[in-house]
Chains A and B, each alone.
Chain A
Amino acid sequence: MNPFRLLGIDNLSKEYAYTDDPVLGHTSAKRSAEKWIKTTCGYCSVGCGMEVGVRDNKAVAVRGWEGHPVSFGKLCPKGLSEHHTLSAPNRAEYPLLRKNGKLERVSWAEAIDAMVTHFRASQFENGKESMGVISTGQLLTEEFYTLGKLVQLGFGTPNYDGNTTLCMASAVSGYKLTFGSDGPPGNYEDLRTADFVLLIGANIADNHPILVQHLGANEHKFLVVVDPRVTKTAMLADLHLPIKPRGDIALLNALAHVILRDGLANNAYIEAHTSGLAELKAHLEKYTPEFAAGICGLKPQQIVDLAHRYAKSNSAFVAWTMGVNHSTQGAETVNVINNLALLTGHIGKRGSAPFSITGQCNAMGSRETSYTSCPPGYRKFESAEDREALARLWNVDANRLPTKRGFAYPDIINAAVTGEIKSLWIIATNPVVSYPNQAQLRAAFANLDFLVVQDGYHPNPTSELADLVLPAAVWGEKEGVYTNSERRVGKANPAVTPPGEAKSDFDIFLAIADALGCRQELFPNWTSPADAFNEIKKVTKGRLCDYSGMTYEAIETHGGLQWPFPEGANPTEPSRLYADGNFPNKDGRARLIPVHWEPFPDQPGKGFPFILNTGRTVEHWHTRTKTKEVALLERMSPNAWLEMNPEDARRLGLRSHEAVSLVSRRGKVHNIELRLTEIIAPGQLFMPFHFVETNVNEVTQDAFDPISREPNYKQCAVRVERSSNKGTS
């Protein structure tokens, strides 16, 4: 250490100096930037506008984009420190190839050659479909679009999905079944204007904090939060309904029952725009408030009151996130939410929508263009017309286009276990933390011939297992667009150059296409994401997710543009789907879908008495690959914890801060810090999923929604034991 500092002559006043910055005002000189780059946040789907300050090719600060229509100048704690993710010490900088068991640095040429050679050889030997691809919700839309064509037409395997299936696939499936298409109908303005807001399974105060200000700006709303836990969001509510885990379908069905029974339905709307009322009505007979109350743990009168309040409001907005989606009945739960909106006509108008708040920054973009759960432009695999339209646009033979969806994410993993999938390409996701029931994932990985991990961060728990690591540029280093939850396409811009030899995913995809020999055919003369964007405009023209009137410049000027945005659309008018009551189903009507409540699969019982719920904390993003490297976020939330009601703890003789283990029928996780709190119901537990060190997904269940293939993360049966090495007393 510097002796001047030790003696105290120097107190680092230079390093800690302040400056009067022309943009930021009086602030730490460390943040003084030479230029500011406008962009969209790369964490979650809220889609906040921000500016990144750059000095000497280093991102030194961020600030909220004043007047941005989503975030109004505010950012969450992750956004406020996002520039630190760019210079994290664990950034992947060079391609690494496993040689004699060790990952060694190789050139890009060798890396791409090794990848294509291995995949091709494996496909030749085991069939084209033996190659699996698991992507993400973190790429730019242009990259998703490029990847989709590369995988489906270049590699010729349909077994390609995103981690978005672990996230909002249920919303996608639910929307498709009810309305005939994906696409959240409402927007954030609805949060600001609705008379009635119901948040079900959505803890936005922790997970989408910047949305809370939209609710806060709505002074006349009545806010109901349905959540088994007294979350930060529940504490904002006018009414919190502490529903029993997976009581949601029973509750929602009973609301529909009361609406029909008490004459609260909007019969004119139902008549004009829906189908299936008779079947639904018959089906709902048994879902009386009394019946539902027994299942969901609420009082019959609460259900009746809620139904009346919802139906009688001039505008009513229902939003959900993972509490609904992470379920073996996720898609059906979405159907039931949609039923309510259709029965009352609370859709397609200001303040009214059944609204899925998405997870990742560009989960929506992947839904629009990634060619995973549907062909680009919200098309259907099964539709010959759709395939022909795409083939024409792409100048390829329509027979090359897959006629049905390949394996979804969990099915790719299961197929690896059975040996159907032999090689796997993972892009910007970290299943070693996020996949439910890690034992099954390990079994899958053990069977692979070749695993490629393309990520901005290495080592991460998944990339450590790879045979080939491709270093990717991340948010802040590349150009393109993200779509947020309200269908707003926002521009992401590069602020700095990627570290080492890392390349944008777009450039990596083109390089692979080159090596495969399909670049000129699939991506003729493409050099930049703008080329992909221009093709996306053509591919989405006339579709629900219409980009055709957008330009990069207009997107940037307006802080994002909401689709559908055909040429001549108004850039500042908040956009809603189905305002005309015309739905993308063939008959133009939305379906009323009868759904039965079922208990969740892994019921508590002997040996496993607790119901475990998993979720997030505001400081961390997903598997913590990025936020672990932001020192302040990591300091504020350094480890996982397990929430338990004090009553249960008394019975078990456990104290707060004690180290405990969770045991399920599938696995164990040790050394979790116990937190005794009344925000969790007796008999239930909650644990955040961000931490690989204490990975809750060792115990979660790999049970999946048969429709959406989304995992049932939110309920499983566990017991709690005192860990052998004791925590603090």
Chain B
Amino acid sequence: MSAAELPLLGRPDLLSIVPASARVALTPSRLPEPGEQYRFHFNVEKCIGCKCCVVACNEQNGNPAEINWRRVGEIEGGVFPLAQRWHLSMGCNHCVEPSCMLGCPVEAYSKDPLTGIVDHNPDTCIGCQYCTWNCSYGVPQFNPERGVVGKCDMCHSRLTAGAQPACVNACPSGAIAIEIVDVAAWRLSPENGNAPGLPSVTDSLSTTRITMPERAAELFNAISRVDSERVQPEHAHASLVFLLVLIQMAAGAMGTIAAAGSSAAWLAAGIAIIALAAAPMHLGRPIHAHRAWRGWKTSWLSREVLAFGLFAQASVAAAWFGTPITAAAACAAGLLGIYCSARIYTVPARPAWNSWLTLADFYLTAFTLGPTLLLALGMIATPIPSLLGLAAQFVLTIYRRRYFEISDVAERRSTARLLDNQLRPGFIMRLTLTIAAAIAIPNFPIAAFAFALAAEAMGRALFFQSVVGKSAASAFLTPGGKAA
């Protein structure tokens, strides 16, 4: 398709209120050439915060009210009466390096070679929601009614048919436009993709260009998002807590079995299989779980699936042969899987997850629960590894809260705030259970195991609940209900 075949593209809005002299085409008059792509331009100065774009987008895509592929955030700065409040209307940024696409385990995402639009295919999507963690702007949203994720596609089909995207068309002040960007030039200097209240353009090389009002320059550092005081815990993801804690325990148990020269690999194999059986429960479309390895070239989720698949098979083999060597091999596969797991979470969009602490946390769970399980079953006698593991987890838990509290990353400080406020009972419980396990170990190993398991499960639930993702600034009020 060539530009010549698209006579309607960029047609002037003949009936517009805007005088002919001032009329600017809101959509490009041609298709991008190689090395170029389409992108959004958002003019903060023109936006009056009416949210027509949000309504038009939801109508265009038939989405329920809870799903907003375009959202309007607010930023504010200055002191009365010289205060300024501006609005940021954001859809998908159609990044040059789309983190949603790179993380997707089933290749549901594609970057259109012609337009650069990042498309998502709801029929391929299995609803793992990994992309919702991966995007710094919170663009992909899971639709529980459908069991799949969805996101802005720049109204791809409208655009290529010569029609304006719904948001562009609805905006009464012409603040949203589609334009063509030279990708190489943008890569070199993407500053105009930054704005107060937005994550850095470099996270995934967002392409949206933002024009800030001139008078914003003097206030730039003083402008902040208006939603920063509102921090809500996220979902605890019970099925993922179950999967992670059990599979980590299984790997730890397998290692302990190998080290102890035990032939009880069947135990670790059994736990691993139970853990993995629960994994699809997390998906919006469990029946399509088998597709999850397809994105292995770029997706840590696919790699985790492959590694844990390998772990399960090696565990079964170890159980069959019952030799320490096969158990050690299975343990190695398990540890590889845990590494892949941790890498899923170490993404820039989730600062509280994005550090070595996640890896340490996951491995310590394996190191704590594996030996403690065998101790409780009387298969080993020494409590030393368990005590070491528990002590390390205790220290790590406290260290992590402190690390977040003093971080210069706002989202990490918010995580600490959650742990100190809404999630405080869980945080205290996690520490108490860890101490209780350590105390119980010498005389009540079964109780000690129960405490340790509960402590790790609580820790993992807090891991999910306390994360504060990067996002584009949102509005002050909590969407959909009172901040309670």
Contact = CB atoms under 8 A, between A and B. Distances in A.
A234 B66 CA distance: 31
Given A26-B161, A76-B172, A677-B85, A5 B147 contact: yes
Given A209-B52, A636-B54, A67 B15 contact: yes
Interface residues of B, number: 77
Contacts of A192: 17
Contacts of B125: 11
A282 interface: no
A659 to B, nearest CB: 8
A368 interface: no
B55 A16 contact: no
Contacts of B285: 7-9, 11
B54 A632 contact: yes
A531 interface: no
A126 B81 CA distance: 55
Contact of A8 (B18, B46, B55, B126): B126
A80 B55 CA distance: 7
B83 A8 contact: no
Interface in B116-166: 122-123, 125-127, 145-148, 155, 157-158, 161, 163, 166
Contact of B479 (A25, A66, A80, A635): A635
B59 A81 contact: yes
B229 A209 contact: no
A26 B158 contact: yes
A45 to B, nearest CB: 16
Nearest to A31: B59
A247 to B, nearest CB: 13
Contacts, number: 208
Interface in B245-288: 283-288
Contacts of A30: 62
B78 interface: yes
Contacts of A678: 76-80, 83
A235 B284 contact: no
A241 B52 CA distance: 28
Contacts of A675: 476
A638 B477 CA distance: 8
Contact of A205 (B50, B80, B484): B50
Nearest to A12: B146
B45 to A, nearest CB: 9
B172 A8 contact: no
A618 to B, nearest CB: 5
A618 B49 contact: yes
A214 B121 CA distance: 40
| Of B18, B174, B483, most A-chain CB atoms within 10 Å | B483
B43 to A, nearest CB: 11
A724 interface: no
B59 A28 contact: yes
Contact of B59 (A61, A76, A232): A61
A75 B55 CA distance: 10
Contacts of A677: 76, 83, 85, 226
Interface stretch (A322-330, A387-395, A679-687): A679-687
Nearest to A676: B229
A81 B80 contact: no
Contacts of A235: 84-86
Contacts of B85: 230, 232, 235, 677, 679
B425 interface: no
B50 A209 contact: yes
Nearest to A656: B229
A213 B127 contact: no
A673 interface: yes
Interface string A57-73: 00001000011000011
6 contacts: A11-B125, A18-B157, A27-B158, A230-B85, A635-B65, A680-B80
Given A81-B55, A205-B48, 10 more contacts: A28-B60, A72-B17, A76-B172, A217-B17, A230-B85, A235-B84, A242-B81, A636-B477, A637-B477, A729-B421
Pick the 5 closest A-B CB pairs, nearest first.
A8-B285, A28-B62, A67-B15, A631-B65, A678-B83
